[in-house]
Structure 1
Amino acid sequence: MVKMSIGVAFSETFAFLKANWTQMLIWVGGALVVVGLLGYLLLGSTFSALAMAPNDPTIMMGAFGKIGLFALIAAVILYAACMLIWRGGLHPGEAPNFGWALQAGLAFAFGMFVVFIAAYIVVFIVMLIFGLIFGAALGGLGGFGSGMDAGSAGAVGGGAMAIGAILYIGLLVFMLWVQGRFIVAGPVMADRLTRNPITGLSESWKLTQASQWIIVGFYLLFTILLVVYAFIAGLIFGAILGGIAGSGSIVAALISMIITAAVVYLPILMVSFSMPVGVYRALAPRASGDVFA
Structure 2
Amino acid sequence: MMKMSIGAAFSETFAFLKANWMQMLMWVGGALVVVGLLGYLFLGSTFSAMAMAPNDPSLIMGAFGKIMLFALIAAVIFYGVSMLIWRGGMYPGEAPNFAWAFQAGPALAFGMMVIMIAAYIVIFIVMFIMTLIFGAALGGMGGLSPAAFESGGAGAIGGGAILLMIILYVAMIVFLLWVQGRFIVAGPVMAERLTRNPVTGLGESWRLTGPSQWVIVGFYLLFTIGVFVYALVAGMIFGGILGAIAGGSVVGAMLTMIVMAALVYLPIIMISFSVPVGVYRAIAPRASGDVFA
Q: Secondary structure at 2:287's aligned position in 1? A: coil
RMSD: 1.5
The Cα of 1:136 is off from its aligned counterpart by 2.5
- The correspondence of residues 31-110 of structure 1 with structure 2, limited to 5 A, is 31-110=31-110
2:218 paired residue number: 217
Q: Is the 8 A contact 1:91 1:288 kept in 2?
A: no
Q: Is the 8 A contact 2:80 2:102 kept in 1?
A: yes
1:13 paired residue number: 13
Amino acid at match of 2:263: V
The Cα of 1:247 is off from its aligned counterpart by 3.0
1:115 paired residue number: 115
Q: Is the 8 A contact 1:104 1:194 kept in 2?
A: yes
The Cα of 1:139 is off from its aligned counterpart by 3.8
- The correspondence of residues 177-188 of structure 1 with structure 2, limited to 5 A, is 177-188=178-189
CA 1:253 to 1:134, structure 2 compared with 1: closer, same or farther past 3 Å? same
CA 1:39 to 1:151, structure 2 compared with 1: closer, same or farther past 3 Å? same
Q: Is the 8 A contact 1:42 1:66 kept in 2?
A: yes
Q: What is the rounded CA distance, in whole Å, between the counterparts of 1:144 and 1:13 in structure 2?
A: 52
The Cα of 1:135 is off from its aligned counterpart by 2.1
CA 1:201 to 1:146, structure 2 compared with 1: closer, same or farther past 3 Å? same
2:259 paired residue number: 259
Amino acid at match of 1:276: P
Of residues 129-138 and 54-63 in structure 1, the stretch that sits farther from structure 2 once superposed is: 129-138
CA 1:169 to 1:291, structure 2 compared with 1: closer, same or farther past 3 Å? closer
Uncovered stretches (5+) of structure 1, i.e. residues with no partner: none
Q: Secondary structure at 1:195's aligned position in 2? A: coil
Q: What is the rounded CA distance, in whole Å, between the counterparts of 2:197 and 2:220 in structure 1?
A: 25
The Cα of 1:144 is off from its aligned counterpart by 8.6
- The correspondence of residues 156-195 of structure 1 with structure 2, limited to 5 A, is 156-195=157-196
**What count of residue pairs does the alignment treat as equivalent?**
292
Uncovered stretches (5+) of structure 2, i.e. residues with no partner: none
Q: What is the rounded CA distance, in whole Å, between the counterparts of 1:136 and 1:144 in structure 2?
A: 13
TM-score by length of 2: 0.96
Q: Is the 8 A contact 2:144 2:154 kept in 1?
A: no
The Cα of 1:292 is off from its aligned counterpart by 2.4
Q: Is the 8 A contact 1:16 1:292 kept in 2?
A: yes
Q: What is the rounded CA distance, in whole Å, between the counterparts of 2:186 and 2:204 in structure 1?
A: 7
Q: What is the rounded CA distance, in whole Å, between the counterparts of 1:150 and 1:31 in structure 2?
A: 62
The Cα of 1:59 is off from its aligned counterpart by 0.3
The Cα of 1:288 is off from its aligned counterpart by 4.5
2:129 paired residue number: 129
Q: What is the rounded CA distance, in whole Å, between the counterparts of 2:290 and 2:99 in structure 1?
A: 27
The Cα of 1:146 is off from its aligned counterpart by 5.3
Residue 276 of structure 1 pairs with residue 276 of structure 2? yes
Q: What is the rounded CA distance, in whole Å, between the counterparts of 2:220 and 2:82 in structure 1?
A: 18
Q: Secondary structure at 2:94's aligned position in 1? A: coil
